[in-house]
Amino acid sequence: MPSVLHDRDDLERPYKLFGYSDKGYCAAFSKDGIHFTPAARNPVIPLLRFSAPSGRKTWFSDVAPMFRDTRAGKYVSHVKTYEVDGAERVRRCVGYAESTDFTRWSAPETIWVPGDDEDRLARGKGFNWADFYGLCGFNYGDGYLGMLWLFYIDYEIERGTHEGQIEVFLASSPDGKSWTRFSDMPLIPLSSTGWDCGMITTANLPLFDKDKIRLYYGGANMSHGAGEPGNPYNEQAHRFNVGLATLRKDGFVYAWSPNGRLRTKAMESNKGLVRVNADCTRGRLVVGVNHDGRRIETFELTGADELDRRFRTPKRGEIVLDVTIENTKLYSLEVT
């Protein structure tokens, strides 16, 4: 499951690949994105083994989402790690390793362990518990977002893996290490009977166009245990496919209310520009600009769907926005 990124600042080896092998995690480089040369010293992270408490089974770290953290100036991989819980179950967790040159990586550490909230969500869907199968993190604004692959587990196969399904959720982090699942609503839900009704995993990064976000993902119409004893792989019926989910600009989440109000934290206005992304086709959005506790300007947007509506204010310095939402979806506010 390799991850590939295009590093336009590196003229000699702009394409970088990070992936799992039977030796551990390996790196490779390319100038054209087609012909790759392995790193001089692979693996860059040795093979990670995790033994079950009983000693009857060994788990290997394999999933390898990776991205360039432009905020911190380094490369980050959320490699899979394992921890044993109170019931002596081996749980898949989110790990963390970093590098400044893509060849010398830190030793992976576990940063996010599945807990009661994930198990509760799994039980609500008819399973017994849930693991973190993978996390594809990326920079977004002043923080981080991630596509979390949540593995609903039915049971452990005695001489194999776990039986269950995988669905994708949105996760967020202020620093790239402390993560929370955004909600119980999946970002990319499993279909009921279609080609992606069994498992969904994503590319390591979304693609950001001017007015939309593209999320490429892999879908399967079988469970994770397909091919194990008692659950044979059906070459005629079982399929893996590539899917595309699209969101509007800043469309990961939105604030909505029939008649709600919110106040932002203080923000620095250097250019006097307030940018709004909102769907007001059935409602109204009012933005009040405050300085030193005093209202200095009010903007209104009614009956329109705007991805990048710009309002200008002559005020420079620290401002606070008071926002009234009436039957409107507010996706983002930006002050520059």
Q: Are 166 and 149 in contact (CB under 8 A)?
A: yes
Q: Are 277 and 304 in contact (CB under 8 A)?
A: no
Whether residue 155 is found in the same domain as residue 93: yes
Whether residue 118 is found in the same domain as residue 217: yes
Rounded Cα–Cα distance for residues 149 and 215 (Å): 14
Q: What's the pLDDT at 287?
A: 97
Whether residue 186 is found in the same domain as residue 303: no
Q: What's the pLDDT at 52?
A: 86
Written as one letter, the residue type at 250 is D
List the alpha helices (DSSP H) in the chain: 116-124
Q: What's the pLDDT at 322?
A: 97
Rounded Cα–Cα distance for residues 133 and 46 (Å): 20
Written as one letter, the residue type at 333 is L
Whether residue 190 is found in the same domain as residue 270: no
If one counts the domains in the chain, the total is 2
First to last CA, the chain: 39
Residue 238 belongs to domain with CATH number: 2.115.10.20
Q: What's the pLDDT at 259?
A: 96
Q: What angle do CA 102, 105, 108 make, to 5 degrees?
A: 135
Rounded Cα–Cα distance for residues 215 and 208 (Å): 9
Domain end: 206, 228, 248, which one?
A: 248
Note the pTM of the prediction, 2 decimals.
Answer: 0.94
Q: What's the pLDDT at 289?
A: 95
Q: What's the pLDDT at 168?
A: 98
Residue 265 belongs to domain with CATH number: 2.60.120
Mean pLDDT per 10-residue segment, the chain (336 residues): 91 96 96 96 96 86 95 96 92 98 97 97 98 98 96 93 97 97 96 96 96 97 94 93 97 96 95 96 96 93 96 91 98 95
Range of the domain at 192: 3-248
Residues 6+ away with beta carbon under 8 Å from 248: 211, 212, 213, 277, 307, 331
Whether residue 319 is found in the same domain as residue 174: no
